Structure 1
Amino acid sequence: MMHKIAITLAATAFLAACQDTNVMPEAQDGRALFMQNCAVCHGEDAKGDGPMARGMAKPPKNLTLIKVRNKDSFPRARIMSVIDGYARSDMTGPSMPEFGALLEGDLIPFDSGDGIQTPTPRKLVALLEYLESIQAER
């Protein structure tokens, strides 16, 4: 019995070591996170019309228009600050809830546009990549 447990532990450790933590998350990686954490307010299409939005005094923003509202630029640093919680104290109206699970897991290098690679939770980067991928065109 102990032999089987040792083999199972060794196999698990081997598989964990094989994961490439240098592979950057892509938009599809963030879509599931968005559906789990954001869609209830922002809606499945991210247009601010989720089931919880109806009961809010100030509806959630349409997240497909971030780039349009910013003169055809996606402000990666500012959006990361909102989803990671650093900029939430500046928000007016009901604030977004904190999503501690998005801060868990491995850190990957993230460049918000300033050329500096900052260790950032993989899930936050995946969510940012998804938001950037759903931006409406002018």
Structure 2
Amino acid sequence: MSSFKPPLFLLAAIGVVIAACTVPSMPEAPDGAKFYAENCVSCHGMSGRGNGPLAKELDASPTDLTLLARKNGGNFPRAWALSYIYGHPEQRDLGRVMPQFGGAMANDTVPVEINGILTPTPRDLAGLLVYLESIQR
């Protein structure tokens, strides 16, 4: 039988590494609010209700982002929102007016729980999800 006992600092270091790999890191809502203000207000409006300054110029009315949970049985549809906002890189022309936010931002991801699965998500979009969840009514 071996009586090797690793030094306490080594055990602590291993614990920190394991925790860093398993604990999700969600951006705070202010990051999402900033991203929203810079990229979404012109169509969806400050309140998120689809009444931004450019809304009247669009063929289709922007979605009321404050009703996403209500339209989904009271649960905020993270997977749907993320996939719609991020966009699908192979489907550029789907008649959608809203820009896709994928691409280069995919290099800076954080784990976000989507339907019980930690999913690598662009940091900016993870923050936006937190913000959108906060404005549900």
For the superposition of Structure 1 and Structure 2, which TM-score range results when normalised by the shorter chain? Answer: 0.7 to 0.9
Q: Mark the CA change 1:100 to 1:71 in structure 2 (over 3 Å): closer, same or farther.
A: closer
Q: Mark the CA change 1:37 to 1:101 in structure 2 (over 3 Å): closer, same or farther.
A: farther
- Aligned partner of 1:36: which letter? E
User: Hey, what's the Cα distance between the residues in 2 that align with 1:94 and 1:108?
Assistant: 27
Corresponding residue for residue 130 of structure 2: 129
| 8 Å Cα contact 2:65/2:132 also seen in 1 | yes
Aligned alpha-carbon RMSD (Å) = 2.8
SS of equivalent to 2:52: coil
Once the two structures are TM-superposed, the CA of residue 76 in structure 1 deviates from its matched residue by: 0.8
Instruction: Specify every segment of 5 or more residues in structure 1 that has no aligned partner in the other structure, as ranges.
Output: 1-19
Corresponding residue for residue 95 of structure 1: 97
| 8 Å Cα contact 1:42/1:60 also seen in 2 | yes
Q: Which has the larger radius of gyration?
A: 2
Once the two structures are TM-superposed, the CA of residue 26 in structure 1 deviates from its matched residue by: 2.0
Q: Show CA shifts across 1:53-102 (max 9, x none).
A: 01112110110011111111111111111111139x5x975431123588
TM-score, with structure 2 as normaliser? 0.72
Instruction: Specify every segment of 5 or more residues in structure 2 that has no aligned partner in the other structure, as ranges.
Output: 1-19
User: Hey, what's the Cα distance between the residues in 2 that align with 1:110 and 1:133?
Assistant: 16
Corresponding residue for residue 46 of structure 1: 48
Identity score, percent: 44
Q: Mark the CA change 1:102 to 1:42 in structure 2 (over 3 Å): closer, same or farther.
A: farther
SS of equivalent to 1:44: coil
Number of paired residues? 115
Q: Show CA shifts across 1:108-127 (max 9, x none).
A: 111112x2212211111000
Superposed structure 1 runs of 4+ greater than 2 Å apart:
91-95, 98-102
TM-score, with structure 1 as normaliser? 0.72
Q: Mark the CA change 1:122 to 1:86 in structure 2 (over 3 Å): closer, same or farther.
A: same
User: Hey, what's the Cα distance between the residues in 1 that align with 2:52 and 2:103?
Assistant: 21
